[in-house]
Chain A
Amino acid sequence: MKRMILAAIAALAMSGAAYADTIKIGVVGPFSGPFALQGKNFKAGIDAYMALNGSKVGDDDIEIIYRDVPQADPAQAKALAQELVVKEGVQYLAGFYFTPDAMAVTPLLTQANVPLVIMNAATSAIVTKSPLVVRTSFTTWQTSTPIAKVAKDAGVSKVISVVSDYGPGVDAENAFKAGFEAAGGQVVEAIRMPLATNDFSPIMQRIKDSGAEGVFAFLPSGPTTLGFVKAFKENGLKDGGIKFFAPGDLTQESDLPALGEAALGIQTTFHYAVSHDSPENKAFVEAAGKAIGNPAELSFPSVGAYDGMHVIYKMIEATGGEQDAAKAVEAVKGLSWTSPRGPVTIDPESRHITQNIYLREVAKADDGTYYNKEIQTFEKQGDPGLAALK
């Protein structure tokens, strides 16, 4: 008798997952502190996806649990991920703005039986750290490589590279150098500036003295970018005919009102512009703009989060709501769909997103606001950074 009751309970417990369950997704990101804007964009992307596609997959309710890591802090990110898995019982981990945070969490995944969907962190190596990592954002290599071709096509053969001295900056420098030298150009000098640089005049003098015809720059978005772009104009480099090339982090939409006039005409390559012209993006921008409150704050992490949710929804569909990380990841390998940024595919080999990279130019709209105007498309770009790792 006792055994029968036990068996009945066990059967109930097992079948329970099949209907009306709540599936929890733990999202780790910077929701307060200096990078709160990026966390806000995560949330806007997630909210937009759930507003457009419902908060249910099959019969299962989806619940998002947010955890805040204000600045890159691997130890805290790992502790929070552990807490999400053990205490909250999340089936999926997602988010992660900073590479070190994502790296710290990868060793947990196999034992926790939880896939990790990266919505931003842009260092190539992350996907190699665990077979349960899928990335829906971009890598610095992916966005910085096409600009090298753009520079060469613009008739520039001598370029000075100027980057902030930290992981993504070094990635950008290597990516550009590899791409530009392959195209037959020459990087005459490579400067790495401290992250805390406020005054860029001496750097501008260096650029001028180097005799380069163009400059490739990478800085984290935010106050330093503003200083750099302004210094470029005010020290007479822009008028002196030196061309400016950069990945799109430098002209992210939320910084454009502040950059204004100084950024006009700057060409960048990136995977997403809020101005991208497609019906999918129109629907996305409307929903995400509503979710974030002030549409002017919308920027690239929101689309990474939006597509991240798409991948997680597909994973939940494939596993029927059961916790099976390997099956979930297997199900999205090779998955293709039309994202707000254009056609994308999860590369089955690397589990990184293959996508179009766009060449954009900062332009002024009729209403006096500034936006990234897409002028050229590099189709189906993978991540060249992974090849460089080997």
Chain B
Amino acid sequence: MQTVLSIAIDALAYGMVLFVISIGLSVTMGLMRVVNLAHGAFAMIGGYIASYAARDLGLAYGFAVLLAIFGTIVIAVPIERLLYRRIYGAPELTQVLMTIGITFCIIGIANYVFGPTLKTVPLPSELQGSVDLGFRAIATHRIFAIVCGLAVAAGLWYAIEKTAFGVKLRASVDNAAMAAALGVRTEIVYAVSFAVAVGLAAFGGVVGAELLPVEPYYALRYMVTFLVVVSVGGAGSIPGALVACLLLGAIDTTGRYLMPEFGEFFFYLAVIAIICVFPRGLAGRAKG
């Protein structure tokens, strides 16, 4: 029983870290219809900024996180204006080529500027160490990641479903010409959504840094996992991504405990099964 509980907690923590990092990609792919393979690169930039701010400049953790989010947005907005704007609505292959190119550029620059060694984001003393749950110890930052994941999920769901901006965003996505005719500044809506998605990537990169340490190849190393989460959850759906992360986290963690020799077998088996039954993901909407 203890073991089952223990695995459940590991699964929850792993799932929530996945969620925080992947949700930004779900926004770009589902709502903005851009296959953004540079998502991992933006998460990595966030991680690097936070690491630099906290380790080399000695700033407080919270401040480093904010700096990482806004720093990454500042870097990403010109990229959006110059490059991404050209590929909105373009065929997927064009988008893939463009964004993978951006990823390779960012990897090269990161390697040149920060070097190939691992970087960590030093945690504040409150998040260090472990909490004793009675039957086992769990790292405090894992609990922090769970809380962050829930907060992000709730905040995003509210912004997209309940606010005026969310209405404009959904309108622009479904029919950009009509939305523009009705007075929605679609360019600004897109720019803001892109900034939010990138900010979430950076936030995920920092919060997840304990599990996925920052190094130049971060940008590609974990991209497949992020894409799997988005496609299983259904692009653009917050609850879908949440359920997908928890489900995949549970399968991966259990498989790893019971039969580590099988590697990622169960993880991908589950992905195949889910995609066969739900081709658009668990909560995917039919394309309009």
Chain A residues at the B interface, C-beta cutoff of 8 Å? 33-34, 36-37, 40, 165, 191-194, 196-199, 201-203, 205-206, 209, 222-223, 226-227, 230, 234-236, 239, 254-255, 257-258, 260, 294, 296-297
Contacts and interface: CB of A to CB of B under 8 A. Distances in A.
Interface residues of B, number: 41
A165 B261 contact: yes
Contact of B3 (A193, A205, A234, A255): A205
A71 to B, nearest CB: 10
A206 B256 CA distance: 9
B263 interface: yes
Nearest to B9: A201
A361 B254 CA distance: 33
Given A230-B210, A235-B139, 17 more contacts: A34-B217, A165-B263, A192-B261, A194-B263, A198-B225, A199-B211, A202-B256, A202-B257, A205-B3, A205-B7, A206-B257, A206-B260, A223-B213, A234-B137, A234-B139, A235-B130, A294-B115
A259 B115 CA distance: 17
B222 to A, nearest CB: 7
Interface in B128-166: 129-130, 132, 136-139, 142
A221 B229 CA distance: 27
A193 B14 CA distance: 17
Given A223-B212, A223-B221, A193 B256 contact: yes
Interface string B247-277: 0000011101100110110000000000000
B124 interface: no
Interface of B: 3, 6-7, 10, 13-14, 111, 115-120, 129-130, 132, 136-139, 142, 210-213, 215-218, 221-222, 225, 252-254, 256-257, 260-261, 263-264
B239 to A, nearest CB: 23
A202 B118 contact: no
B14 A199 contact: yes
A197 B252 CA distance: 10
9 contacts: A37-B115, A191-B261, A198-B211, A201-B14, A202-B257, A206-B260, A230-B210, A234-B137, A294-B115
A260 to B, nearest CB: 7
Nearest to B256: A202
A302 to B, nearest CB: 14
Nearest to A255: B118
A191 B262 CA distance: 11
Contacts of A257: 117
B136 A235 contact: yes
B204 to A, nearest CB: 13
Nearest to A193: B260
Contact of B260 (A194, A198, A227): A194
B253 A201 contact: yes
B212 A198 contact: yes
Contacts of A258: 117-120, 213
B186 to A, nearest CB: 38
